[in-house]
Amino acid sequence: MAGVEEGQDMSHMRVYVDTSVFGGYYDDEFEEGTRAFFDMLNVGHATALISDTLVGELADAPERVQALLDLTLEGPCERLALSDEAEALRDAYLTAGVLTGRWADDALHVAHATVARADVIASWNFRHLVNPLRIRRFNGVNAAESYGPVVIMTPQDVARTWKEGQDEPED
């Protein structure tokens, strides 16, 4: 997780958004949780971290998904360009067998988020990302490569966590 700097709002999160979240907005199974997540982004309670990898993956997506991406890019967001550092970390994940080369883009999403020091990755990808055993393995590589741990949650859980944090009284 990103370090807390002096004066930083503890309730404001920097959230790396993976490709599945945009598709989830229009999926009956994931719609409710995804819309709660985007509502949180739209009112400025979190900053979306959007990578060039994600933008490339959505290039051939349906028009409404691309429109959602465009809207997200207009809001509070950080663009993450592909970097040698992210590619090297992706390669470390692949070498360690966290994922196979077939799923290199999923590993690259985690690498982008890790290098950017995202507070959390939002994803509906249960097989490769929102998976406790894989998260443990990603974090093992992160530790070996001198990076901090990564947190991966569903968009619904990210929104719920933020909301619950707002309901707690301050000390």
Task: Give me the CATH number covering residue 137.
Answer: 3.40.50.1010
pLDDT at residue number 5: 42
In a domain, 45, yes or no: yes
The pLDDT tens digits for 1-55 are 344 344 445 468 999 999 999 999 999 999 999 999 999 998 888 999 999 999 9
In a domain, 79, yes or no: yes
Question: Is the pLDDT reported for residue 56 higher than 50?
Answer: yes
Structural domain that includes position 155: 13-163
Question: Who's near 60: CB < 8 A, 6+ residues apart?
Answer: none
In a domain, 106, yes or no: yes
pLDDT band at 170 (very low <50, low <70, confident <90, very high): low
In a domain, 171, yes or no: no
pLDDT at residue number 162: 82
In a domain, 169, yes or no: no
pTM, two decimals, is: 0.90
In a domain, 123, yes or no: yes
Report the domain count for the chain: 1
Mean pLDDT, to the nearest integer, of 159-170? 73
Lowest-pLDDT choice from 84-93, 102-111, 154-163: 154-163
In a domain, 138, yes or no: yes
The pLDDT tens digits for 112-161 are 999 999 999 999 999 999 999 999 999 999 999 999 999 999 999 999 98
Contact criterion met (CB below 8 Å) for 86 and 115: yes
Question: Who's near 8: CB < 8 A, 6+ residues apart?
Answer: none
In a domain, 91, yes or no: yes
Torsion of CA 162, 163, 165, 170, to 10 degrees: 140
Torsion of CA 88, 89, 95, 96, to 10 degrees: 160
